[in-house]
Amino acid sequence: MAISNPGDAGATGGPRARADTVAAPRDSGTAEAREPMGTLPERLWPYALLGIALGIVFTRAEVVSWFRIQEMFRFQSFHMYGIIGSAIAVGAAGVALIKRLEARSLTRRPIELPTERFQPPGYQYWIGGTAFGLGWGLLGACPGPIYVLFGNGVTVMAVAFLSAVAGVWTYGAIRHRLPHS
């Protein structure tokens, strides 16, 4: 169904694949193809460094700990609320500054700021959010911590990872039957 749907070419099919092939010789496999003119190459190593830094912060601040998540959902400490709250405050200040200054990205790509700020929230946010929360409460880890815990030696998180991938696949398979808006 998807493959034969010409209206969806942007998300699937032909034109993109062709552009990939054309651009392939001049990049090194990091998929720089089809970017708007005038952009600089986006490197991957900054993201590796970012991940390492966050892995250390997540561990040191104990946000990867099932115990801390339990403490949060039992309202027995300010720790997690302080982390999430101050992260949002700093993030919001940064986003506001980017908007105010109309900042451009270092690699001159457009900044993907969400524009539909007051889009009415449909079922997907209520139901999906609650499903996620149930998993978060049981597993005690959201997606980032699943990776970080694996690095910390809780190798059984590989099973949680595969289960999460299975959950995503299931969503992808049945999403047309789920209420969204």
**Using rule CB under 8 A, residue 15 touches other proteins:** no
Residue list 116-145, contact with other proteins (CB under 8 A): 116-121, 124-144
Cβ of residue 7: shortest distance to other proteins, in angstroms?
Answer: 12
| Residues 70, 176: Cα–Cα separation, whole Å | 34
Query: Under rule CB under 8 A, how many of the chain's residues touch other proteins?
Result: 133
Contact with other proteins (CB under 8 A): which of 14, 16, 22, 24?
A: 16
Among residues 37 and 106, whose Cβ is nearest to other proteins?
106
**Using rule CB under 8 A, residue 24 touches other proteins:** no
Q: Map residues 72-101 to x or -, x wherever contact with other proteins holds by CB under 8 A.
A: xxx-xxxxxxxxxxxxxxxxx-xx-xx---
Cβ of residue 104: shortest distance to other proteins, in angstroms?
Answer: 8
Q: Which residues contact 30 (CB under 8 A, 6 or more apart)?
A: 41, 42, 43, 44
Chain-centroid distance, C-alpha 47 = 13
- Going by C-alpha positions, the residue among 131, 139, 113 that lies closest to residue 168 is 131
- Going by C-alpha positions, the residue among 125, 130, 120, 117 that lies closest to residue 179 is 125
Q: Map residues 38-67 to x or -, x wherever contact with other proteins holds by CB under 8 A.
A: ----x-xxxxxxxxxxxxxxxxxxxxxxxx
**Using rule CB under 8 A, residue 22 touches other proteins:** no
The 3-state DSSP class for residue 37 equals: coil
Among residues 22 and 94, whose Cβ is nearest to other proteins?
94
Q: Which residues contact 115 (CB under 8 A, 6 or more apart)?
A: none
DSSP category for residue 151:
H
